[in-house]
Structure 1
Amino acid sequence: MNVFRFFLTSLMVCCLTCRTQADLNLYVKADAGPGGDGSQAKPFRQIEQARDAIRRSRQNGQLKVGAGATVHIQPGVYQITKSLEFNKTDSGTAEAPIVFRATHQGQTLIQGGVSLDPASFQPVTDAAILKRLPASARDKVRVCDLSSIAAGSFAELKRSYRGVPVGPWLYVNGAPMTLARWPNAAADHGGWASFSKVVDKGLPDPKAEDPEQRKLHPGAFIFDDPRPARWNLKDGVWLLGYWTHDWSDEVIRIADYDAKQKTIRLAAPHNYGIMGGTWGSKSRRFFALNVLEELDAPGEWYLDRRQKQLYFYPEQNQQATSIVLATLTQPLLKLQDTQHVRFENLNLEYGHSEGVSLKNTTGIELAGCVVANLASGGISVNGKQNTIRSCDLYHLGTRGIALYGGDRKQLTRADNRAINNHIHHYGLFQRTYAPGIYANGCGQIVQNNCIHDAPHNAVLYGGNENLFERNEIYRVVMETGDSGAFYTGRDWTSQGNILRHNFIHHLGGGDAEHVNTMGVYLDDCDSGDRVEGNVFYQTGRAIMIGGGRDNPILNNLILDCPIGLHVDSRGMTWKQWNNPNEPSWQLEKKAEAMNYQSPPWSERYPHLAKIMQDSPREPLYNPILRNVFVDCSKEVAHLDGNVKKLLDKFDMENNLAVNTRGTSRGIAMTNDLKGFTNLSGTPDKPIPLGLTENSQGKWELHQDPSLLTKEIGFEPIPFDKIGLYLDDYRRKLPE
């Protein structure tokens, strides 16, 4: 028996030794000498050298089929001038992946920009420039001559754009700087100027004599402030504005300014016109950018693109340890048709495009990486079974993570995963519809992410069978209106999506009169979403069903929200419903494109299969069960007139409206609404439902199971499982 055990032990050691010898280990060090061979003694200098060495090993048979490879990347800055690309030949297997691993987390930087020496920034001596600078800033602004750094010319900003501006962009000490603007970001009114009188909306006027006025054209408005008179419009001044809607931002150049008439005329039209009519604030807002005359605050910068002079107002009490001009207009990391490659603990930063692009990939994983300081999005995933795990994404011009893949028509899942990621301070350039996470296709999985600090959506989604679970979301939709933390809309076919056990809190207020900031927003007849077991705290409207069907609202806890639930019947009243002249509203046509009356759709979504014979304009099959509404200040449930007439068709039962302290003012109750029970406490004996913040700043949920189970059969929410968690890659939680 001892001999047999010795034989087994020897065999296992032999197998492990053979496997270790079969696998390939390569080493990379940023300051390595020339002529490295990838060994630990003579490492490569660039990551692509290791990639190419693995390719050669495959070709010459050194790296056998079924063997993996690991590239150990030492701390340092790896500046790249083109994408670090991987293709089919770089693939591993599920059992033996190819791994690119930083040896020290947070110390290996792949950078798509040029590092500038702080000593190259000198006081401004050009008299013409000094005259244009504000007097208070003349001795503080510094200039760097980029002539020897940047080959060729810098492109000019377009007349109008939405999203990413023409590069480059300046980053100092790991954060994006602000292109010189007015009002300053930290100024009164949130850094916005406003107007309420329009001279020309810019919308087509079919009766106009001038042919240009009969089509979409640049608009003009009254601005009762002399500030624009000090700007040099010939050099170009642009305005980022919410010109009509609080969900549509665009940057448009100023064409001219008439000081006598106090009129600003824009150089390009806006699709919705200027003050073309909106649901929200009557005044419109903007800020001016790329204005040398407004370079007056620490952190602001301006680039003279013709003379290649970079002007910067540094923080006076802070040493600039890192100054990077992001120039690369390609993704830092690009994979196509690649399988089973893993990237661990890398920092991918400072590019004027997106960070990571995965196309038609399988089994790719990014774990413990930082993807930050980028003009576009963080990570784009298109394929199947790819995973973004425990990564930090921030300082992004547009979105955080985008997940695509799967076959909607066949309802085949992609199973791409975004898990345990911290996504914040995104949407810096594109202020709307640039979410923390975007999911479409079929079968994306979004779990335990923390998303915060953004002007618009946290999660924007469409498609089928997507799961959004245990995510924490806060301080989003901070400057926009008619929007939601979770948002989807205008589609009958986005069925089978589940929003479960998420914590959504402290959203932007939006327009107070309309309460137009939502926790979950199922817009414009969107159908087929299950909203279950979520906690909403201090949102505008917690849950909004905008005319759609088949949206179960189950076992949610709504705390201290002005309006708890909104259900309307816009499908019955809006003329554009299913209108062939309104492409985005062609709900039936979108369903026909999915063969919705045939398997697998007809089997998976039976109500949808027969919708056209089942009062399609009515918001039916929206069960509202076992929800708890606590201290709603305006309305527990806002139901429009048509919905109230349809309540006999609604499955609405076992919901609870709670006034925790019995307050007579400022707390709404349901007034005998079907399916609701009212429950009031007193100041002496308050009902123990709500949230408190402990000494560590962590939220604790009070959900009395005995009370809620007894009243309505409420199932306790696993609140302690929501949000980020510690693992091998995330070793501490953000404060």
Structure 2
Amino acid sequence: MTWVVALCLGLLLPLGHSKTVHIYVSPKGSDGNSGLDAAHPVATLDKARQLLDSSGIKDNTVYVELMGGYHNLQSTLHFTHAYSQPVTFRAYKDQEVHVTGGKQISANLFTKVTDTDALKMLPSNVISKVVQVHLPSAGITDYGTMSKFGTYYSRTSWLEIFINGEPARLAQFPNDIFLNIVSVPLGQHGKTFTYKTPEDSKWAHEKEPWGYGYWMYSWSDDATKIGHLDTQKHQMTIVNETNYGLRVGHYNPIHLAYADNQGGYFRMINMLSELDLPGEFFLDRSNGNLYIWPNTKTGTLASSDIITVSLIDDCISMDPGVNNLNFEGFTLEACRRNGITGNGLNNINVQNMDIKNLGSYGVDIRASSNITVSRCDIHYTNGGVSLYGGDRITLTPSSNVVEDNHIWMFARVGGTGYNAITIDGVGNVARYNHLHDGQYTGLMWRGNDNIMEYNHIHHMCVNSTDCGGVHSGRDWAARGNVIRYNHIHHVIKRMPGAENRGIMLDDMYSSVLIEHNVFYKNQYHVNIGGGRDNIVRHNVFYDAVDFPLNVDFRGILYNTTGGNLYAKLATVPYKTKLWSERYPKLAVIDSNHPMYPMGNLIYENAFYNKRGPGIVQFHGNGLEKKEYYDIYDNFKASPADFWSPSEHDYRFRCSAETWAKQNSFPQPIDINAIGPRQPTGPKYMQKAIQQYHSTSHPASCSGSIIG
């Protein structure tokens, strides 16, 4: 009897049980091979993708083993349907693997500059340093086109060039600062303006000059082609009107922090006559010649240098319904748009990747659930990770997670809207990430019940103002969000315009819980922009440039966002039982002065500020009402009340420790407890996580409690 049962089970097992299959891919392989053993690999990832649906492989757990070298995609790696079992694309035995959307160019194809017209235009002192390559001779004829970018505009890049993984930039002027608009003869919405620089005497013969800048506001960047340039009048006309128009600028690189008149500054890009630094290039699309001053240690090119140009748009894309896909352990680079993108997906995992040198986001996945991006290095992109998921109508969480990543230099070409992390929808989580060096926001969130915790966020808003290191705005219904246990620092004002903030609740954003964070060296640590029902408690606010918090009542003063707020509110069923039980204050917002900043609580925070004794700066008269901003039991500390601020150690001691115990305030989160918990990136390039250790000896104690 036992033998019969065993025989029956054995006969049935293959019908319901998957096996594990390995498909091997090597740049030295052949797509005529089987790919089923390391000695007979296929050559392309697309062939491996096709094999996933073949007999004997389909419906099994599959590992696509990418063998060492450069795997140059000829077109987007495109997935069209679901997989019943997990499929993983990974580096074989942790070898160094690069999957690129481009092509390598041999260093021996680069020569000294010989084109007569180019020699006339290049600065005379760099001619010996610049080299040229005729791209058609390297088999490259698709140069892309210069196109608009900036302010949340989805960017597809032109052909770019990277040397040893480092991006070059279009030659520009000025190199590090901006020029002011001097006059706007046709008004804000005209296309003509004047400027002042003798440098333009070199620009008359530029073939495709573009302007890039913050033309009207210091929170909105834009790029546009130059239609006409009059170097005698120092006047130019742009082809397309910019986002908000033009204004006279007051940019002063020496006194940036003190200028309030925002916008009106720009720079010229795509300028052969301004190719004057290592890492700058210019592509003449009329003849295919690319000119570059190599950004190598020697400033020259050797046979060992890896020179890559970007050719295809998206590296990896997935159609609605795709699931059970994993990508891990390799470098993904040199695409003109996104690294990994898709819509309507489920159960997608991206881990231990190095994602870089892209025209847009590293990972951009929308309307999807159970997406995890973890332990990745993402840099030299225009956007880090963007995940949209969950259902706001039913408040069904997405279970999307962005965790343990290192994301930096993520706004390489444009600024506003190219965030390190964007989460949107319901139930998304961003935790244990290290985010730094961005032109605009580090972490942007929208929707409901999202959690942002244990992140290390710093040096944001570099070329922008009226910006937050963590930022959201204009949605009364976006409730249930929590920002906790983060270190947020060095979000300061570097450009003319409004102030920057560690956390910015813009345009009446409401009902977020901000607790157990450590803030230091920000312009303002937290801003409440006229919203309601926000709770700020149990945080450390140390040494703001201005004040720990600033608040206002813009809804009463201007009412400029009211229509937008009501329109968003109408898209969710906020009075239904599900919503009213989850967010009771939202259910009665119509009858409770919706444009007033009602119900904000700021209590039991510890703060030290050189500028003055107050914890809150009020923008507007009549705001100091408890029904608007109830501020109580905050502790005014001294530097001696923290263990070692110079070493990012804000543990309480002395009077602060006594006060914290009385208020059940736990010790502030240690910097060693935030950011990635494990090494990031592929194993072939992992480095130890930087740790901070306190060795100082604190001085005497002091401190007091205020309202």
Q: Distance in 1 between matches of 2:149 and 2:538?
A: 46
Query: Which position in structure 2 is the counterpart of 1:101?
Result: 90
Query: Which position in structure 2 is the counterpart of 1:644?
Result: 623
Counterpart of 1:567 (choices 539, 551, 557) is 551
Q: CA deviation at 1:106?
A: 6.3
1:388 aligns with 2:373: yes
Q: Is the 8 A contact 1:559 1:690 kept in 2?
A: no
Q: Distance in 1 between matches of 2:58 and 2:217?
A: 59
The aligned amino acid for 2:290 is L
Give the structure-1-normalised TM-score.
0.84
Which runs of structure 2 are paired with 1:107-506 in the superposition (5 Å)?
Answer: 107-150=96-139, 154-158=143-147, 164=155, 166-184=157-175, 191-195=176-180, 197-200=182-185, 202-203=187-188, 216-221=189-194, 223-232=195-204, 235-275=207-247, 280-281=260-261, 284-314=264-294, 315=296, 317=298, 319=301, 321-334=305-318, 336-382=320-366, 383-396=368-381, 398-506=382-490
Deviations 1:522-565 (A, max 9, x none): 00001121111111110110000000011110111111112101
Deviations 1:290-343 (A, max 9, x none): 111111211111101010011111246154511111011233344541122212
Q: Distance in 1 between matches of 2:536 and 2:165?
A: 42
The aligned amino acid for 1:658 is A
Q: Is the 8 A contact 1:348 1:369 kept in 2?
A: yes
Q: CA deviation at 1:391?
A: 0.7
Q: CA deviation at 1:350?
A: 0.7
Paired residues in the alignment total: 659
> % of aligned pairs identical?
27
Q: Distance in 2 between matches of 1:555 and 1:377?
A: 34
Q: Is the 8 A contact 1:219 1:269 kept in 2?
A: no
Q: Is the 8 A contact 2:605 2:633 kept in 1?
A: yes
1:601 aligns with 2:579: yes
Query: Which position in structure 1 is the counterpart of 2:4?
Result: none
Q: Distance in 2 between matches of 1:306 and 1:324?
A: 21
Name whichever of 634-643 and 167-176 sits farther off: 634-643
Q: CA deviation at 1:363?
A: 1.0
1:86 aligns with 2:79: yes
Q: Is the 8 A contact 2:51 2:57 kept in 1?
A: no
Query: Which position in structure 2 is the counterpart of 1:576?
Result: 560
Distance 1:574 1:323, change over 3 A: same
Q: Distance in 2 between matches of 1:253 and 1:53?
A: 45
The aligned amino acid for 1:609 is A
Alignment RMSD: 2.9
Q: CA deviation at 1:380?
A: 1.0
The aligned amino acid for 1:56 is S
1:48 aligns with 2:46: yes
Query: Which position in structure 2 is the counterpart of 1:30?
Result: 27
Q: CA deviation at 1:644?
A: 3.4
Q: Distance in 1 between matches of 2:380 and 2:95?
A: 16
Deviations 1:392-417 (A, max 9, x none): 10000x21000101111111110111
The aligned amino acid for 2:646 is T
1:656 aligns with 2:656: no
Distance 1:316 1:385, change over 3 A: closer
Q: Distance in 2 between matches of 1:466 and 1:179?
A: 38
The aligned amino acid for 1:263 is Q
Deviations 1:14-45 (A, max 9, x none): x9999998222222222125632122231222
Query: Which position in structure 1 is the counterpart of 2:677?
Result: 725
Q: Distance in 1 between matches of 2:327 and 2:402?
A: 15
Query: Which position in structure 2 is the counterpart of 1:626?
Result: 604
Q: Distance in 2 between matches of 1:393 and 1:75?
A: 21
Q: Is the 8 A contact 1:567 1:643 kept in 2?
A: no
Q: Distance in 1 between matches of 2:457 and 2:160?
A: 28
Give the structure-2-normalised TM-score.
0.87
Query: Which position in structure 2 is the counterpart of 1:77?
Result: 70
Counterpart of 1:691 (choices 645, 649, 659) is 645
Q: Distance in 1 between matches of 2:345 and 2:228?
A: 49
Bigger relative contact order (CA 8 A; separation at least 6)? 2
Q: Distance in 2 between matches of 1:509 and 1:366?
A: 34
Q: Distance in 1 between matches of 2:669 and 2:70?
A: 42
Deviations 1:672-694 (A, max 9, x none): xxxxxxxxxxxxxx33355233x
Other structure's SS at 1:200 match: coil
Distance 1:360 1:224, change over 3 A: same
Deviations 1:361-398 (A, max 9, x none): 111111111111111110012210111110110000x2
Distance 1:169 1:713, change over 3 A: same
Query: Which position in structure 2 is the counterpart of 1:706?
Result: 657
Q: CA deviation at 1:217?
A: 3.2
Q: Is the 8 A contact 1:115 1:324 kept in 2?
A: yes
Deviations 1:156-191 (A, max 9, x none): 43488765365111111101101111122xxxxxx1
Q: CA deviation at 1:51?
A: 2.5
Q: Distance in 2 between matches of 1:21 and 1:590?
A: 47
Q: Is the 8 A contact 2:485 2:518 kept in 1?
A: yes
